[in-house]
Chain A
Amino acid sequence: MPANTSSMGDTADQRTRIRIVVHKLAFRSGDLTPVNHPEKLAPIPYTNYVPETLLRNMGKWVKTELITPAIVKHVSETGEEVYSVKVIGPPNSRFSADTLEKLCDLADMYGIGVIRPTPQGNVEILTDEEERARKLEEELRKNGFLVGGWGNHLWNIQPCTAYLTCTTAVIDAPSIAKALGDALVEYVYEKETPAHLSIKVSGCPNACGGAIDVADVAVVGYPAQTPMVDDKWFSSIGSPLDVTAACPVGAITPKRDPSTGKAYGIVIRPELCIACGRCRDTVDAIVYDPKKTGVMVLVGGKASNTGPNGQLMSRIVVPYIPSEPPRWPTLVKVVKRIVDTWVVNANKGERIGDWISRIGWDKFFELTGLPDVRKYLRFSEKPGPLYQPLYRRRLTETYAYLFREYASKI
């Protein structure tokens, strides 16, 4: 329980009241890694971590109110209030220990000593007085943090790890997030959007950068080529059967040693390949030509059941933009265009998906000025995955050949 210590007398409001926040901590004791007992330890119930202010009001909240784009007020039945101040983290929410320590200090000084990171890459600092919340916002800004993003604003841009640690990334996602962020930063605080906007960036079709299929705007790294195989490396690290099994269209066959019949490598048939990147997932010895890789842009997805449409899945609107690190000028221009068009044309409360459902895709391409992608890609109205109902294509290889033939004629 946070304790207020103020001994300022008459000039209390002129000085910053400093309070010491002490929280209980659930320590485990005894031998923590007993021999022959390597199971994970059962979790300590969450009630041990939650401060009493929140515990008292659990499930009793009646009202949520936006104070500024950075502050949200939660009012409880009991009349208690909790303010949550939102800080937008760096791409991939990579925080150094120093920065986190600074946030801890601020959370202790102005808050109730609670920091909540969110899966989107934001950090929420909780406090219990409006005055303190405003002061905290100001202080955060002074310390160089980007605050804002509650309500009808850009919530965050969430990229995957990509070149920071990932072994399978096709393109780099954090640099895209940074470039997009610089272009759209005004939507975090100053300018209002019609509704909640969240952007996801992923380095490859695995899409670890969040739910790209239900994001308002999603950018996905796209190999756009049949991969090459590094035979030399593959022979030492790869397992041909694993990679063969991973391919959803059966485009990979093992290369066998004619004398022993043992598989030592793989062959990828370009005529069957759909560039899904599953083989790259399984083994590192698969090479993409960096000159051919690029990104695609999807828009209009949402997972929440709100609005007239309920859940929507995103659709590709730009199938390919060549990669241009580190600032990605074309991509930034396209995404900014889409967001700006939505901001100008949508009704209040309409997320991108709802807006497009209302006006139709024809109108969307007309308004944004993007080339109508439906002329180039073939869309089907059936529910299914990103790259075509692959499980059906697995049926026969002949079918895949035919499909490829057909595709080249359109």
Chain B
Amino acid sequence: MASEELPIDPSLWPEPPPKEKVEEYLAELEKGPWPSHVTELKKTKYPVYIYGMGLVAGVTPWATSAAKAPGIYSGVLSRMSHPWTRINPPIFEDHARVLIPSAQVFTTTLLRFLIEASRRYGWGLMQFIGGTGDVVLNVVREKLIELDVFLRRIGLDIGGSGDVMRNTVSCPGPLLCPYAIYDTLKARDFTYSCLIDWATYPQFPYKIKFKYSGCPIDCLKAQARADYVVIGTWRGAPDIDNERLKQWIEEGGDVEELVKSCPTGAISWDGSRLNIDGSKCVKCMECIRRTYPAIKPGREKGLTVLVGGTIKSRTGPKLAKVLIPFIPLPSPDKLEEALMTMFQVIRDRIVPKWDEEGWRRERIGDTLIRVTWHRFLSDFAKFDPDLAAKITKAKPTEPYYTYGITFFNMSEEQKKKYLEDLEKAMESWQ
């Protein structure tokens, strides 16, 4: 393609870098003990040279494109090589997000089918798995529908991109972890079946994410990444099994250390009996992690629902806020009922209102900040006005965090001085 025909203004974009330089950069990334993505990409049909071009130029080598996939409204993303790379005809990079079984449990039988799919319909490459909890499979554009049929046949589906309800992620929960308070895997399946229309058609101002964490340890980092977060919790003190505790002490467990480790001083030991003050317990799981199964999560189990944690959004990263402090979960088979209680607030009140009032590309966390927490509680969640006022006045539990002035806003001299200081500091290290 001659430069006059380029759709872009060539003076603003980099020139395609020389071949030797690209190869040098790529070779550099194959060295060292850590697994290399370049080595891995070279085993596939991925055009790794384009990646190298971007690396040398310092500008992404991909531009937005669109693939036609009738019947698939979400889950397919398309790229083409950027005009500045001068690759003619452009190379297309299409990939599909594959929704996988709960807790990412893959039997090898299923995985072999997926590998077969990626060889037959794609480049033999996949992201296993992406941060959203789905497998990202590179596809050849013409074979997209065939891939969809193949995946549906083996029980999977394509989905989870655009302004829809994205893939829901749950921690492994009861499948592998002793601390899980409810069946996170079941909750995930249930959410998807209940809200399948949300997952199909792009219809919202921006994406919606649900994440399910089994206990307050929150391995998924759900509070920071999802719009609606469900965390398993309990009321009052953890449950102490004295027999097992005795056994734990006999096996060399240090009770003094255990008492000291409690951040709020809720644990007391009178020489023969351990006591935990339920009103002081902040559910940090420290004692449980040390002594399990002698100390277990309390008997009065339930779910906490949080709202509005995001990173990628208008107002920057934020942690989720507690929306419903406690939904009782008296027995595991009452999980669906407990989730329905949550859906009554989220599905029937908050999301329709957000759909109406939210700005484009604004997640619920941003809307919440824009309309204020109090109005969110009374207008969006339609809580009783007294309750909303009470919740608003309660001491915020979020941690401190923020930056007033960023590097970008500093003056040129300040910037220069900082970088000099940094360089000076680094000289003193070995």
Contact = CB atoms under 8 A, between A and B. Distances in A.
Interface stretch (B176-184, B267-275, B381-389): B176-184
Contact of B429 (A242, A276, A333): A333
A46 B9 CA distance: 51
A311 B319 contact: yes
A100 B185 CA distance: 24
Contacts of A334: 422, 426
Contacts of A95: 40, 125-128
A274 B425 contact: no
B370 interface: yes
A232 B54 contact: no
B196 A158 contact: no
Interface in A212-239: 212-214, 222-225, 228, 230-233, 236-237
A344 B216 CA distance: 29
Interface in A29-83: 32-33, 38-46, 48-51, 54, 58-59, 61-64, 74, 82
Contacts of A293: 58
Interface stretch (B307-315, B323-331, B344-352): B307-315
A32 B398 CA distance: 46
Interface residues of A, number: 173
Contacts of B312: 206-208
Interface residues of B, number: 161
B419 interface: yes
A303 B154 contact: no
Contacts of B105: 46, 49-50, 54, 114, 116
Contact of B175 (A54, A99, A237, A323): A54
Contacts of B200: 38-40
Contact of A93 (B130, B177, B369, B399): B130
A230 B157 CA distance: 38
Interface in A289-326: 290-291, 293, 296, 301, 303-316, 318-323, 325-326
Given A63-B293, A98-B124, A386-B317, A304 B64 contact: no
A180 B331 CA distance: 46
Given A96-B41, A178-B32, A390-B314, A46 B189 contact: yes
B249 interface: no
Given A90-B40, A206-B311, A391-B369, A310 B399 contact: yes
Nearest to A120: B131
A327 interface: yes
A28 interface: yes
A44 B398 CA distance: 38
Most buried by A among B29, B71, B221: B221
Nearest to B13: A287
A172 interface: yes
B33 A182 contact: yes
Given A46-B105, A97-B125, A231-B9, A307 B263 contact: yes
B19 interface: no
A220 to B, nearest CB: 10
Interface stretch (A8-16, A17-25, A256-264): A17-25
A41 B157 contact: yes
A376 B292 CA distance: 46
A254 interface: no
Contacts of B28: 326-327
Nearest to A160: B131
A167 interface: yes
Contacts of B43: 96, 98-99
B259 to A, nearest CB: 14
Contact of A303 (B176, B218, B405, B410): B218
A94 B127 contact: yes
B428 interface: yes
B202 to A, nearest CB: 12
B176 A82 contact: yes
Given A207-B311, A232-B8, A42 B407 contact: no
A59 B399 contact: no
B49 interface: no
Nearest to A303: B221
Nearest to A318: B422
B284 A40 contact: no
B93 to A, nearest CB: 6
A396 interface: no
Interface string B16-32: 00000000011011011
B302 interface: no
B110 interface: yes
Interface string B332-367: 100000000000000000000000000111000010
B64 A167 contact: yes
B44 A167 contact: no
A145 B316 CA distance: 37
B252 interface: no
B279 interface: no
Nearest to B176: A74
B140 interface: no
Most buried by A among B106, B192, B263, B312: B106
Contacts of A175: 29, 55
Nearest to B421: A371
Interface string B366-395: 100110000000000000000000000000
Given A33-B145, A377-B407, 14 more contacts: A48-B101, A97-B118, A117-B104, A117-B129, A161-B130, A230-B8, A233-B9, A287-B13, A288-B59, A304-B219, A319-B410, A379-B404, A386-B402, A387-B406
What 7 pairs between A and B have smallest CB-CB spacing? A385-B316, A290-B58, A181-B34, A313-B401, A378-B404, A182-B32, A213-B317
